[in-house]
Amino acid sequence: MIMLLTGLGMFFTKEPVMMIVVAAVLMVMTTYRSLEEEHEKWIQIIYGIILLMFAILSGNVSGFLIFLLYKELKLLYRCAMGTIIFFACQVLFHQGTSVAMVILQTICLMAGYTVLSLIMIGMTRMEQRKVREGQRIVASNISELHEKRLNEQLVKQRYMDEKNARLLERENISRNIHNSVGHSITAAIMTLDAADLLYDVKPDEARKKMNDANTRIRGSLESIRRAVRVLDEANVALTAGELKAELEMIGSEFVMDTSMEIRQNFDDVPDDIKLPHDHVVFLTGVLQEMLTNGVKHGKADTFVVVLTGDSAHIRLDIADNGASDFQDSNAEQRIENGFGIKKIISYVEKCGGKTHFANDHGFKSMVELPIVFGG
């Protein structure tokens, strides 16, 4: 554009060499400004001065149009500056032209400049619309890709949730079978051992114990069925009174099988407190585990079972007088190798409760669970 305006102005200027020099400087400045996104004020001032020099030297239409390059100014200001320069140059340097003709030429130039500006504005808006449309398409593609990835993540998460649910179900079944069947069979074996010792001296009593052992073993099948059925009854709430009855029955059966002493204290827990079904099953399993372990590993013959709690927590403490080798130094290894205790800790941690196991003149265990019902 500068080259075209320079060629046009050469027919009217009286200083062609100077005009070419100014045009060259103007081209350099315009190139520099196109490469820099932000311009300092002194650059804009110098650029405005060079534009003004070019306009004065051309003294015609090119002097008017040159201000199209001054994009930092608003359209109205560019039009006004170009008009003033053109009018002044025509009056000062073209004395033979009448004022009326100069005014007419100025009006025509302003009209032409307005039309040209509107065309430029239209082209700019079209370019902006293309850019916005491109951005919209890119944003739409990104959103679609993000949604696709999100759906993939949801599918993976759903698969993992289902897998974890299956693993939890397996763990519940294995724990319940271990707590019920395992202890029933252990009790039956201990009863058979006692019957073997009594067989020669007290055959009638031995026969009774053998019948009891037979009943225990037959009951193991029902225990398996009950352990599986627990999964379907997980949302059924039970009372603390029902838990007490289960614990008392386990203690009575154990005493009957082993002739051990069990002292129980459940008075601090109101009978009407509601408990999750899983907690009741779990705590009965804990008592079975601790009683069996106390006799089998610690040779204990006396147990103290205490149940405490309120509407927010339930706690079971079990202590025996056995000779356990459980110590702080080997606690981690003992727990890791002990299937029962490991399962107890796993369940309690998942529920947000607390456990404690120690050997203090006998093995002591504490299990505390928060009373929370699922939605």
Question: Could you list the pLDDT tens digit for every one of the 375 residues in the chain?
Answer: 667 666 666 666 667 777 778 778 777 777 777 676 666 677 777 877 777 776 777 766 566 666 666 665 666 666 677 677 777 776 666 656 677 776 777 777 777 777 777 787 788 888 888 888 888 888 888 888 888 888 888 888 887 877 777 777 677 666 666 666 666 677 778 778 888 888 888 888 888 888 877 877 776 666 566 555 555 555 567 889 989 988 888 887 777 656 689 999 999 999 999 998 888 888 988 998 888 888 888 888 899 999 999 889 999 999 999 887 666 666 666 656 665 788 888 889 988 999 998 888 888 999 999 998 754
**pLDDT at position 100, please?**
76
**Token duo for residue 262:** 């069990």
Question: What residue has token string 């050469």?
Answer: 10
Identify the pLDDT of residue 348.
Answer: 92
pTM of the model: 0.45
pLDDT of residue 281: 84
From the list 318, 233, 340, 346, the residue with the least C-alpha distance to 280 is 233
| 124 close to 75: Cβ distance less than 8 angstroms | no
Residue type, 229: R
Q: What does the alpha-carbon distance between residue 367 and residue 14 come to, in Å, rounded to a whole number? A: 106
pLDDT, residue 318, reads 95
Per-residue model confidence (pLDDT) at position 50:
75
List the Cα angle 88/93/95 in 5-degree steps. 100
CB 343: neighbour CB atoms within 10 A?
20
Measured distance CA(274)–CA(123) in Å, rounded: 76
pLDDT in the model for residue 139:
85
**Any bridge partners for residue 263, and if so which?**
304
pLDDT at 68: 64
What pLDDT sits at residue 319? 94
Residues 6+ apart with CB under 8 A from 326: 334, 357, 358, 359, 363
Amino acid present at 283: L
Per-residue pLDDT, 186: 74
For residue 276 the two structure tokens come to: 């999750």
State phi, psi for 364 to the nearest 5 degrees. -125, 135
